[in-house]
Structure 1
Amino acid sequence: MALYVGAVLGAGVLVLPGQAASLAGPASLLAWAFVGLLGLPLALTFAALATRFPDAGGIATYATRAFGGHLGGIAGWWYFVAVAIGHVIVPLTGGYYVAAALGADQRFGYAFAAVILLLALASNLAGLRLSGRAQLALASGVAVLLLVAAVAAVPHAAPADFTPFAPHGLTGIGGAAVVLFFAFAGWEAIAHLAGEFRDVTRDLRRATTITVAVVVTLYLGVAFAVVVTGSYGTPQLDRVAVGGVLGTGLGVSASTAAGALAVVISLGTTNAFLAAGSRLGYALARERWMPAAMARLSGRDVPAVSACTVAAIGGVGLLAAALGGWGTEDLVTVPSTLVLLTYLVGMAAGIRLLTGRTRIAAVVAFALTAAVAPFAASYLVVPVVIGAIALGYRRSARMRASNAAGHG
């Protein structure tokens, strides 16, 4: 449950409430409610798939079983790239808040982000059991701090805060919903850890139920607090929106309060997604969709090469963002679109593989996710390019294997 909460209730809560409010105004609450409630059928479907097929491949495994290896490999690449880019966005989010807490320029946020990424890598290389214990403390701290932020903002609510309610109309709400898929990406991440549950049938379902209730409540609470305190409107303000909420609601230094919150959340999210992403890379390498070295396990049964690969991609991404002056708002739409398509494939696999109530949940989740997809149309070139690269690598790997066999 701790890993699940940490994966879903992530660093997106630090920047996305402000970014979504800037896109849709107070009507961003509708986008939060829609994507949050969508989490229930999504989570139930992924839990059912993970229970039936407890494999580190997650979405790649389900798509392969339902539609064949090619779509499975492509879907795996989509999610792997989304996770890798997330290891730029999530640590950088924490870096922004730490820089603000120290009174430093936001450019120093990239260096703080690198430290967060390295700490998460060290935790994962030590083994999932240690990561799980750390995640329990991190997830508990996140939940308490966000609850305090939401409750503290209630006395500041007024009808004027919701006028105009939807300044950018349906387009703004839809655009916000696409962005928010990044905030809820963890519904699928837990599937890659299903094989490591002691009793997957019992524990995964219990973790899913509790996580959905906790995450939706806290996300909506924080989004409401950002709207009523007016902590949004510019990229600089959006990046530290929760800091504004804490400062307004508690009468304390926004930068100091939010800096502590950001470290807890960003480290917890990076930790959980590094665990999930490394196991996905391991599974893809095992099926020759990625380099064979990524399928190696350390003495602690950790896919160390895969974990280091994910972290290295995040590190290179941080360097590129620092040199290019890119902020989280410039990056988040790409992984959000990839997650959205991953969910469409996952729910289609659920419709094909599951029966009974869980199949109904998959149908509902597929329909609701498909309703958001048109708002991401301008970014669909990204998954097309990634899919082409994945197929190209797969073909190259097969040719190398064939040539090696021929020489043998």
Structure 2
Amino acid sequence: MYFSALARTMAAAFALCASAALHAGEVEVLHYWTSGGEAKSVAELKDMMGKRGHTWKDFTVTGGGGQNAMAVLKQRVLAGNAPAAANIKGPAIQEWAELNVLTNLDAMASFEKWDEALPKVVADQMKYKGRYVAVPVNVHRVNWLWANSAVLKKAGVAALPKTYDEFFAAADKIKAAGFIPVAHGGQDWQDFTVFESVVLGVGGTALYDKALVKLDRAAMTSDEMKKSLEIFRRIKSYTDANSNGRDWNVTTEMVINGKAGFQFMGDWAKGEFLAAGQTPGKEFTCSAAPGTANAYTFNVDSFAMFQLKSWEAQKAQGYLAYLLMGKEFQEKFNLRKGSIPVRLGMNMEKFDDCAKTSSKDFVATSASGALVPSVAHGMALSSSQQAAMRAAVSEFWNNDKLSVSEAVAKLVAVSAPKQK
């Protein structure tokens, strides 16, 4: 019923040369790109699909966040009414593939030479049992530190901090100047975004991989992990009292508007700065989080492709997959969103200095082994393990009475499922 290898190869060829009228169809897509920079990014994709004659339909779940959307998606898929694609990433791709509901994209991948265009660590995440079932769109670097240039200047901070000693010295100056040193949104994923950058900065990729990816108990209970927790808690003292529950983009606005000095956040935050008309190196600055200049935590947005019954829908889906990995869309999309192309060998001339640095470091860390998946953003652990890790770290962030030793014990408890 679904694409054979030959049919998929033909579909790829059609994507290149067939007229719009011959393969017009509808693609229904589940995504979460609704903020300023993100909304402009997805508009690029809709426009490119429309030029080929296809129509785009947003998959929406009224009153629901990501968790509710996934529940509705599962109900629809199991009922035989799947959308064409859904924004799913990391180990969650494998979880959906195990339900035998994702379509095989190998012929398209072979036709377009995806294995050559992608770093192996990324390509492997798009596959299930060696076969492509999802398409990567971009690469976000998570271990960024953003800063308002004017705030730093007014506070007398001459350079972005490269160590945590330098960071806290700068934070003290910013606080003394009457600004909020660290803009932070008190949600568990934002808490963990800060935490994983601290672990990476304190213990390097070795500690990060062992403790947060492999969930090794020895690494979890190490002195480096305890130091990471101490620094993490100290950072909280530089945030404002109204951070609890604040969305990330609202938090970024605090830096954009000059109310706060720093923010730990992935480079989707840059999309907000750009949407506000600001320029990197001028109104705002970017730097790897303290201690992480030679490491890279990645968050790859990707679309899992579901099995569809309608031939017209299959053709539209095939063209969507083709577009997502195409050089034209990779450039346009990532210029809008603040991320970088996932394809290797892309021309970065049109990108800003932050993106050029990110691209250079992405390639370098891919070769050195310092390219590691972001735990906070669903690239490393199962959904249940990720939720448990977030909860443990967020509890430590929010409860000053919880000791470092007690936090370590909670992290070890999360690691139990992976221990032999």
What TM-score does the superposition give when structure 2 sets the normalisation length?
0.27
Higher helix share: 1
Higher strand share: 2
TM-score by length of 1: 0.28
